[in-house]
Amino acid sequence: MAKRHFDIKAQPGFAFLAMFTFAALYLPIATLVAYAFNASDSVSIWGGFSLKWFVEAWNNSAVQDAAWRSLVVAFFAAAIATTAATMAAIATTRTEPYRGLSFKYAFINQPLMVPEIVTAVALLIVFSRIKVWTGYSGLGYLIIAHTAFCIPFAYLPIRARLESMDLTLERAAADLYATPWMAFRRVTLPLLRPGIIAGFMLAFVISLDDVVITEFVKSGGQDTLPTYMLGQIRRTVTPEVNAIATAFLALSVVLVTAFFFINRQKT
């Protein structure tokens, strides 16, 4: 008797469980987006369709400052993290396996495994001492902190791209007397570009969305958009927060979608 192929989708209750999971995930988000267009001042009472909360958020100077600060921190953190992740990925893939290589993989990906609150408290302790010694309290601390936890997010797609690349062209360049730098610049880097772009975009989104580490590390007057929204929710909740969250969601969806299609490009 031939063995039946196991199909998870054919199991009893699979469709119900899948629909329930999707509803639990997306119904709250859909509700938030719907009430971002609410004409009422209440976040729970529908008062008709309106774009006024988007207009108010756009004209709010505090929102503008927080949004610009978020973009600046996310851009520089993602750029530095992607550069470091690219070098780390090349160093850990373009080499023969050796003792300690697995430890390096784990060390690079450590921020993914350590609870974010632990990282936040550790950074707070270190940066508080540095602030006392130097007197500097600018955005540099936020950029360094975001860079630290964004590196593994940039590293994973770049490493995956390197591992899937055909080494034939790199070996051909070496056979044609290309220096290691020339082979990297003319062969490896162009092939690796989709992975680098995907890593940068993923790190950018992760930095843009962060709350916990930012809340611990930032100085006074350095709210990013997520921490500004958290502060607004603590004081009073209006559909303006929904409008900001909806715009934030749209930006994240665009970046993640672009990351998905870039990462699907074949070598």
With a cut of 50, say whether residue 249 has pLDDT above it: yes
With a cut of 90, say whether residue 81 has pLDDT above it: yes
CATH architecture of 61-263: Orthogonal Bundle (1.10)
Q: What is the pLDDT of residues 200-236, one digit of tens each?
A: 988 998 898 888 999 999 887 888 888 888 887 777 7
Helix (H, G, I), strand (E, B), or coil: what is residue 127?
Answer: helix
Q: What is the pLDDT of residue 264?
A: 67
**Per-chain mean pLDDT for the chain:** 83
Q: What is the pLDDT of residue 263?
A: 63
With a cut of 90, say whether residue 75 has pLDDT above it: yes
Q: What is the pLDDT of residue 85?
A: 92
Q: What is the pLDDT of residue 3?
A: 58
Q: What is the pLDDT of residues 127-183, one digit of tens each?
A: 989 988 988 888 889 999 999 889 999 998 898 888 887 777 777 877 777 777 787
Q: What is the pLDDT of residue 83?
A: 94
Where do the domains of the chain lie? 11-50, 61-263
* Count of CB atoms situated within 10 Å of the CB of 26: 11
Q: What is the pLDDT of residue 267?
A: 46
Q: Are 198 and 157 in contact (CB under 8 A)?
A: yes
Encoding tokens for residue 130? Answer: 């540095």
Q: What is the pLDDT of residue 172?
A: 80
